[in-house]
Amino acid sequence: MGTRLFVTMELGPSGFALPRSHLDGSARKAAHGSLQSRDCSAYNRQMPRARYKNVVDRLAGDIRSARLAPGTKLPTHRELAADEGLALATASRVYAELAAMGLVSGETGRGTFVRETFLPPGTGMDQHAPALDLVDLNFNAPSLGGQDELLRRALRNLSSQGDLEALLRYQPHGGRRHERGAVARHLRRHGVPATSDRVLIVSGAQHGLAVTAIALLQPGDVVAIDALSYPGFKMVARAHSLELAPIPITSDGPDLGALARLCATRRVRAIYTMPTLHNPLGWVTTLEVRLQLVEIARAYGLHIIEDATYAFLAEGAPEPLAALAPELTVYVSTLSKSVATGLRFGFVAAPSVSVPLIERAIRATTWNTPALVTAIASEWLDDGTVARLEEKKRADARRRQSVAREVFEGIDVVGHPTSYILWIPLTGEARADRIAAELMHQNVSVSTAEPFATTQDIPHAVRVAVGSVDLDVLRAALCKVAQVVREHTVL
């Protein structure tokens, strides 16, 4: 499979000037004088423009105007150096600058290619306001028919209860005790030996990951992470200045030999991991792999951050890491996928010593998850609504996966049979950004591997989220994906 190096940089405005109306008379005179006294031509002469910059500008212009089409293979560094009369290192600098502008990608062993500039940067990472007719196979927001009625009923029930005044006040940072109790009971049903004093309610798993990082890690800390992983943790790492150390992937999960070697050579503080229903690869690691991971974590004193966002979809999975190593593991999960993404209800189960630290991080970020949401969600946890929705969504995901497998017959895909995610590794000369851009032209949005990759070499693959659109819309959109992938792949 081809790999590529992908660097993007946001370009800001080159400068600004005060409008004339903002200057009073004397200030205007002074400004005029200082402008007159500045000899711009002399200034330019003192700063001769490096000649290679002209090459950068010319190539950038050709790419932006599509004179050089996306996917075009550019001359090798050596050829560019010879063509333009540049030193080899300077030719490499030309490509580095174009890569930093997001215009080309250098791919190990394949060469330098013109990037697809039609795709908005951050596709798969940032949620862009989607066009009304865009079929979203980029983000998963699984919702079953009739969930709005559930919410209506819950609001009616809530409005008839006597304790509404309490919902108008600040709440304890990790949630009220009886709500934390409801979460702990839910977690115990999922094999996590949680008690209400070790559980904290947060505003979604993303918030759970952010407060865990704030509470337990310092800027500069090294965190081990799968070579392909959840983009939201990359964002947490960037925001908190953590260093991510990628662990290679095997068909059974993370390469634990590589993790052990990493820990032996670097001071690794934590591992971020998804043992049950990995996003994006859908794996469920075996008990043996989990025990090995715990052994390494114990040997090197790592915090384990276990993300179980999609875990409810995999029935019969081995015990969570939070059960195997409760003293090391912060277990983060959510009702986003089992109930609704807009709810923003997540939870963290942590070792006792970490609880006050995470509580303070919640205080620093949201103070508390909105009381109205926690009241409704904890009711749903206790009255069996969440368990029923989990079961229905397992069946829903299974149906969607089987539609996808049918449509993608003959194309190798990776994914769990009851997952809402499908990973399509590309072969031959197929380029993920070109495929994603072509699908975007056909109003179907998918993600490339870029947001998921924690390495510099990024595999060519497409990630499809099958949970957000109606089944018949999904089938039609998947047919478009399969067709474009087939057209781009030399089978």
Q: Residues in the site for ligand PLP, rule: CB under 6 A? A: 140, 204-206, 230, 232, 274, 279, 307, 309, 334, 336, 341, 346
CA dihedral 445, 449, 452, 453 (to 10 degrees): -160
Place of tokens 């370009």: 11
Q: Is 482 helix (H, G, I), strand (E, B) or coil?
A: helix
Q: Which is nearer to ligand PLP, 292 or 338 (CB)?
A: 338
CB distance 374 to 339 below 8 Å:
no
CA distances to 26, 27, 109 from 33, in Å: 10, 10, 57
Kindly give the pairing relationship between strand 329-334 and strand 346-349.
Answer: antiparallel
Quick one: 147 or 341, whose CB is closer to ligand PLP?
A: 341
For ligand PLP, the closer CB: 196 or 276? 276
Q: Which is nearer to ligand PLP, 2 or 175 (CB)?
A: 175
Alpha carbon 489 to its chain's center: 26
Q: What's the rounded Cα separation, in Å, for the pair 164 and 142?
A: 30
Phi/psi at 176 (5° precision): -75, 155
CA distances from 363 to 84, 173, 177, 183 (A): 58, 6, 16, 19
Residue 366 or 442 with smaller CB distance to ligand PLP: 366
Q: Is the CB of 154 or the CB of 201 nearer to ligand PLP?
A: 201
* Smallest separation, CB 416 to ligand PLP (Å): 13
The residue whose Cβ lies closest to ligand PLP is 204
Integer Cα distance of 279 and 224 in angstroms: 16
Q: Which is nearer to ligand PLP, 232 or 254 (CB)?
A: 232
How many CB atoms within 10 Å of residue 231? 21
In this structure, are residues 340 and 146 in contact, taking their beta carbons and an 8 Å threshold? no
Nearer to ligand PLP, 275 or 346 (CB): 346
User: Which residues have a Cβ under 8 Å from the Cβ of 260 and sit 6 or more positions away?
Assistant: 296, 299
If the CB atoms of residues 203 and 292 are measured against ligand PLP, the closer one turns out to be 203
Give yes or no for a contact between 421 and 140, defined as CB atoms under 8 angstroms apart. yes
Strand intervals (E) in 35-81:
none
Using the minimum distance from each CB to ligand PLP, give the nearer residue, 113 or 230: 230
In whole angstroms, the minimum distance from the beta carbon of 183 to ligand PLP comes to 14
Q: Do the Cβ atoms of 225 and 244 come closer than 8 Å?
A: yes
Amino acid (1-letter code) at residue 388? R
Alpha-carbon radius of gyration of the chain: 26
Phi-psi region of 102 (alpha: psi -120 to 50; beta: other; left: phi over 0): left
Please, what is the minimum distance in Å from the beta carbon of residue 402 to ligand PLP?
A: 22
Select 56 or 182, whichever has its Cβ closest to ligand PLP: 182
Q: How far is the CB of 369 from ligand PLP (least distance, A)?
A: 11
Question: Which are the contacts of 1, defined by CB distance < 8 A and separation ≥ 6?
Answer: 425, 426, 427, 459, 460, 461
Query: Alpha-carbon distance 304 to 294, whole Å?
Result: 8
Contacts of 333 (CB under 8 A, 6+ apart): 187, 190, 205, 208, 307, 308, 309, 311, 346, 347
CB of 386 to ligand PLP, least distance (A): 14
Residues 6+ apart with CB under 8 A from 208: 202, 332, 333, 334, 346, 347, 348
Residue 2 or 275 with smaller CB distance to ligand PLP:
275
